[in-house]
Amino acid sequence: MPQPLSSRDKILDVAEALFARRGYTGVGLRELADATGLGKSSLFHHFRGKAELYCVVVARALERIEAGVAPVFESDAPPGERLERLVGALVDQLAEQPTTARLLLRALFEEEEFAADPPAEAARAEAIVASLVTRMQALLHEGVEAGVFRRASSAHTAQTLIGATVYHFASAEVGEGILGKPLFSAEAVAERKAELIALLRHGLAAPASPSPQHRGDPPWRS
Amino acid sequence: MPQPLSSRDKILDVAEALFARRGYTGVGLRELADATGLGKSSLFHHFRGKAELYCVVVARALERIEAGVAPVFESDAPPGERLERLVGALVDQLAEQPTTARLLLRALFEEEEFAADPPAEAARAEAIVASLVTRMQALLHEGVEAGVFRRASSAHTAQTLIGATVYHFASAEVGEGILGKPLFSAEAVAERKAELIALLRHGLAAPASPSPQHRGDPPWRS
DNA sequence: GTCTATAGTGAGATAGAC
DNA sequence: GTCTATCTCACTATAGAC
């Protein structure tokens, strides 16, 4: 069952680590070939070229995320609970492989490089992102309509959620300096989950007294 | 007074735009030279090499941020108000030049490329980041001690703040697709500021009844 | 499916004239 | 301070033997 990795899968695994660390242009096929133990030319038998290889790597990472969070969206739990489980699943997925967050954050920048000659896999990646974002916004909207979330912009809240999760696990030395511990230690991951959920519970909950005219935010206590 | 730009400043301006769009390895000196109207070799008279040029560009962007937010830290307003002004100043700085957020987010990744031969300017950049983070955490800690913020981790809150601002303005097509409007339009920038401040007011405020044993978070309303 | 060999291009950097 | 010319090296990709 733990079948030895095919050459293709091995290439993808090694390439994911390298692309996450140095980015698309920063990784050479020579380096990738050496790291896999293959010759440089063998890579072209598995992939049409560097661009396609890169897009397959990114799409594969997005599919892992998608698979991890899909059960949350299919759940029929109330919106508040679903939102918390979404954050938990997102954090779990990003924490499972330390390369994922960096790879995806970099991909956000480098995707425009392929505007000229977009490999077919680039469309798959974009579709997954669009689908995830749409469902996240729908969940937020549903919570507002149900009266359990305050009337925050679902677009901006989605952006904040992405930034707070993806950026955090991509922040490397800067983030570790702030936390004072390894980003991917079990302790730091659990903390991240708890802190984000607490921020959302306090920050997104509908006010206790739903006075219709109460549009302003509460002032600070002191 | 609007003295014509020196060659050095012109190079830095053009380089900042290019590095923000395509990253360190993605920009060639030939391209940069053509864009400035200079010959390739002339660049080496102003900078020791590509690495130094890049680090000067990043440090300059960080100094703009620093200058924009410094007044906030020097203020003696109460912590809640200072935090809001910090978010406002950060958003203003990142919104002023659309290249800044992308440049800095990319720099977070590429800084480890210079681990072997670190140009002197790299240390300046790191020092500014460290100083900003330290003061941000101190402000959060002060608010907690004063009883105006709930006991959230200042480290994780700082990470969230950075991600929610820097990532947002770096998110390019993805972010614009979510917002449904240009990221840097006056409307979108004002929205971002208001949404972040609202999230912090609700999400960070100390609970109304400070019962000492109340460590758990409130459940959702429904 | 993997290899060697190589084509063809462009990179960063240097030398030295003006 | 800017230029032309050139060095050296690495890159993506291809051709073709095994």
Q: Average pLDDT, stretch B161-180?
A: 97
Residue A222 clears pLDDT 80, i.e. is over it: no
B106 to chain A: closest CA residue:
A106
Chain A nearest CA to B1, separation (Å)? 37
Q: Give the pLDDT of residue B158.
A: 98
Residues of B in contact with A200 (CB under 8 A): 203
* pLDDT tens digits for range A81-127: 999 999 999 999 999 999 999 999 999 998 878 877 888 889 999 99
| CB proximity B28–strand D (7 Å threshold) | no
Q: Give the pLDDT of residue B213.
A: 59
| CB proximity B156–strand C (7 Å threshold) | no
Give B3's DSSP letter: P
Q: How confident is the model at residue A210 (pLDDT cuts 50, 70, 90)?
A: low
* pLDDT tens digits for range A13-35: 999 999 999 999 999 999 999 99
Q: Average pLDDT, stretch B95-100?
A: 98
| CB proximity B40–strand C (7 Å threshold) | yes
- Mean pLDDT (chain B) is 94
Whether chain A has a CB inside 8 Å of the CB on B99: the answer is no
* CB contact (8 A) between residue B222 and residue A78: yes
Q: Give the pLDDT of residue A211.
A: 62
Does the predicted model carry a pTM greater than 0.85? yes
Residue A212 clears pLDDT 90, i.e. is over it: no
Domain spanning A52-205: which superfamily?
Tetracycline Repressor, domain 2 (1.10.357.10)
| CB proximity B44–strand C (7 Å threshold) | yes
Residue B4 clears pLDDT 80, i.e. is over it: no
- Mean pLDDT (chain A) is 94
Extents of the domains making up chain A = 52-205
Q: Average pLDDT, stretch A172-196?
A: 98
Q: Per residue, what are the HEC states of chain A?
A: CCCCCCHHHHHHHHHHHHHHHHCCCCCCHHHHHHHHCCCHHHHHHHCCCHHHHHHHHHHHHHHHHHHHHHHHHHCCCCHHHHHHHHHHHHHHHHHHCCHHHHHHHHHHHHHHHHHCCCCHHHHHHHHHHHHHHHHHHHHHHHHHHCCCECCCCHHHHHHHHHHHHHHHHHCHHHHHHHHCCCCCCHHHHHHHHHHHHHHHHHHHECCCCCCCCCCCCCCCCC
Q: How confident is the model at residue A213 (pLDDT cuts 50, 70, 90)?
A: low
Q: How confident is the model at residue A181 (pLDDT cuts 50, 70, 90)?
A: very high
CB count within 10 Å of CB A211 equals 7
* CB contact (8 A) between residue A180 and residue B133: no
Residue A1 clears pLDDT 60, i.e. is over it: no
CA A40 / C1′ C3 distance in Å:
9
* pLDDT tens digits for range B184-202: 999 999 999 999 999 999 9
Q: How confident is the model at residue A187 (pLDDT cuts 50, 70, 90)?
A: very high
